[in-house]
Every structure is written in structure tokens, then in C-alpha cells.
Amino acid sequence: MKSSTTEKKTILTEWRNAIVFAVVFATLFRWSLAEAFVIPTSSMENSLLVGDYILVSKVHYGPRTPTTPLQVPLTHQKIWGTEIPSYLDWIQLPTFRFPGMRGVQRGETVVFNAPKDLLEPTERPMDLMTYLVKRCVAISSDVLEIRDKQIFVNGKAMPNPPGMKFRYEMLTEYPLQSHHLETFGLDSEDYWFLGYTKENTPVYSLLLTAEQLEKIESAPFNISIHPPSDTQSGLELFPSSMANLWTKDNYGPVTVPKKGMQIPINATTLDLYGELIEKYEGQDKVEISAGKLEIEGKTMAQYTFNQDYYFMMGDSRDNSIDSRYWAFAPEDHIVGKPVMVLFSKNVEGTGLDRIRWERIFMGIE
């Protein structure tokens, strides 16, 4: 006959084994097949909304081996509900990508690790940098240019995603309440109060689709509405040498690097590609100065890229910190392809309206 102590040990052992199996299975599934993410910002509206829980396929582009193996399972940067880092960077491994179904295609949404965080600069291992979701508007070897907000790739206008937004400033007859703008399909992520003019006229900043702009132009409270006079977002454009010549709405042309692409080394090419060579190409002892490049003490007249790169932008073009500011996304930073909205929570809704029922299981382009 088993004692109660033995039975308790058996039950505890079974629970322990079940938990270990579940964690291992979930970790392997999350790494190799698919992972769920939540959309925290409005930079991809209206393709993806704040509160969307999306399923991201790792199979499309192939899963990556972890760079940082010393990490609490099923975490990213911090242990759940705390500010305690969930990893130790004592060991850093080279990244290897297993074969996938295909490569990143122009025009599709992609989840990737940010090459750099401009709002909260923090040095972390590559696979623990903040996750971003943007649209890949240009793939490696493409020549990208933006003219009056329209993207051109290899000289051809790129089709714009439906519901794309731009920023406008509006003068109004009187201060507005939220219900004034909700009738046009705007929520708190789409507008904010800027203050008053010298004539005491209220000024608002709005993020609008073409359809919303057309409707709000005839609103009774509208005095005038137009694109903002400033052409920058407050952040310096990439590359810094062109920051006074290019704007976020008129940008380029610029060639996206491709694996095997060779460039001559001079001040112009180093200003555009020097940071990539220094940080993302896996090179040791890189020195850049006075238009010259040295790798391990050897002066380079030319350089050949070791991996592909991509140019990423948000669909809400004036509300997105993207490749126009932090440059190209390296191939080894690519995480996966969003394929489906699993669930969508409207934080401003009430009752049943807190769930966007029409978005559940919706496919993602």
C-alpha cells in the first residue's frame, strides 16, 4: 500500500513533468512554427490596429537560432510583470536561419527586431531588441524613392495599402469633444489638440485616410484643414548627410543592399552604408574615418555585403518611425510573417464593443 507521502510525491512529480513538457513544447512551437504578438501602436493603421493580437508565421522565412541562449523561457526582454531582465548576455552565438518557404516579398507586412530604438536607446542583443511590425516597401537590390508621399520602387509607383493615413492640421470654430470626431471613425490614437493660434482658434492634428479627409472637410466645425507646415517628425532622417535635403515625404533615391552587392568605398557610400558594415555585417575591428574603411587593419577599396537588407515603413506614414529614420532592416533581424488576427481588443469600446468581432481570424496582407 502506498503511503500518503508517496502519493503526494507522485502527484508532484507528474505535475512537474507536465509543466516541463508544456514549457518545452511551447518554447519549441514559438521558436520554430508560430508566435503571437499584440499591436501596441498605431503606425500600421488601418492594416493593423492597436489591440490586434496577431499570429506570426516563422515557417515562411525560416526560424532563427537564438543569439542569446541564457534566457527565461517564453519571455522577451523582461520577466513577466517586472522590470527584471529575463536574459544574461554572457554568451552570444552567431545566428543561423533554417530554410523557409520563401524570402520576404515586397509589399507584405513583416515582424522583425528593430535595428535600433530611437525613442528609448538601449543596447540589447539582436534577438532581444524591440519587435516591430511594418510593411516591406523595398527588398534587397531595389532602388527606393518617395516623391510627394508616393513610394516609387525601381521607377514604378508602388500600390498604396487600403486605409493608408497621413497627418493634417485642422483649425476649428470651437474646441472639440471626442464625440465630434468619433462620427468620422477617429479614436484617441488619430487626433490630438495642439493648442490655440494668436487669434484664439483651436488647432488639432489628425491622422486621416483619404475618405476621412473628404468627409471632415465639410464638417461644420472645420475652418481649414491642410498638411502640416513641418516636413519632419522631430527625428533626424537617415542618412544624416541628407537630412537637410530629404524629407519623410520626399526621400531618396537609395539602393537597398543585397548579399553579394559590391560598393566602392568613399565618403558618400560610407555615409549611407557604413553603419551597416560596422554593426550588422559580422565584421571585427571596423574603423571608419575620413571616407576610409578599415577592417582588421586592412584598408578596403570596395566592400561586398554579407546579407540582404529591407526598407520598412508603416502604413500610417506620418505616424511611423521606420527605415527613413533608422535605415535598413538586416535579414538576420527578420522574425516572421503576420498571417492572421487571432483576436482584437478595442480599449476605447464598452460592453461587447470592446471586441472587434469582425477582425477575429481575419487574414493579414
What is the Cα–Cα distance from 126 to 116, expressed in whole angstroms?
Answer: 9
Per-position b or e across 78-112, b if 16+ CB within 10 A of its CB: eeeeeeeebbeeeeeeebeeeebeeebeebebbbb
pLDDT bucket at 120, cuts 50 / 70 / 90: confident
Q: Average the pLDDT over 341-356 and give the result.
A: 90
Measured over the CA atoms of residue 356, residue 357, residue 360 and residue 362, the dihedral's sign is negative
Q: Average the pLDDT over 149-154 and give the result.
A: 97
What pLDDT is stored for residue 265 in this prediction? Answer: 96
Q: Average the pLDDT over 268-296 and give the result.
A: 94
**Is the separation of the CB atoms in 336 and 57 below 8 Å?**
yes
Q: Average the pLDDT over 96-125 and give the result.
A: 91
pLDDT bucket at 231, cuts 50 / 70 / 90: low
What is the Cα–Cα distance from 40 to 314, expressed in whole angstroms?
Answer: 13
What pLDDT is stored for residue 109 in this prediction? Answer: 97
Copy the grid coordinates of residue 72.
Answer: 527565461
pLDDT bucket at 233, cuts 50 / 70 / 90: low
Q: Average the pLDDT over 289-305 and give the result.
A: 95
**Residue 9 predicted with pLDDT over 80:** no
What pLDDT is stored for residue 100 in this prediction? Answer: 95
What is the Cα–Cα distance from 262 to 50, expressed in whole angstroms?
Answer: 41
Question: Strands 156-157 and 286-289: what pairing?
Answer: unpaired
**Residue 8 predicted with pLDDT over 70:** no
H or E stretch at 210: helix 210-216
What CA dihedral angle connects 313, 315, 318 and 320, to 10 degrees? -50
Q: Name all contacts of 220-223 with Cβ < 8 Å and 24+ positions apart.
A: 220/173, 221/172, 221/173, 221/174, 221/176, 221/180, 222/170, 222/171, 222/172, 222/173, 223/170, 223/171, 223/172, 223/173
Copy the grid coordinates of residue 141.
Answer: 537590390
pLDDT digits (tens, 9 = 90+) for 156-195: 999 999 889 999 999 999 999 888 888 898 888 899 999 9
H or E stretch at 11: helix 4-32
What is the Cα–Cα distance from 226 to 250, expressed in whole angstroms?
Answer: 18
**Residue 256 predicted with pLDDT over 70:** yes
Residues with Cβ within 8 Å of residue 18, at least 6 apart in sequence: none
What is the Cα–Cα distance from 239 to 193, expressed in whole angstroms?
Answer: 31
What pLDDT is stored for residue 21 in this prediction? Answer: 85
Copy the grid coordinates of residue 66.
Answer: 537564438
- Between the alpha carbon of residue 13 and those of residues 9, 17, 133, 276, 349, the distances in Å are 6, 6, 41, 50, 45
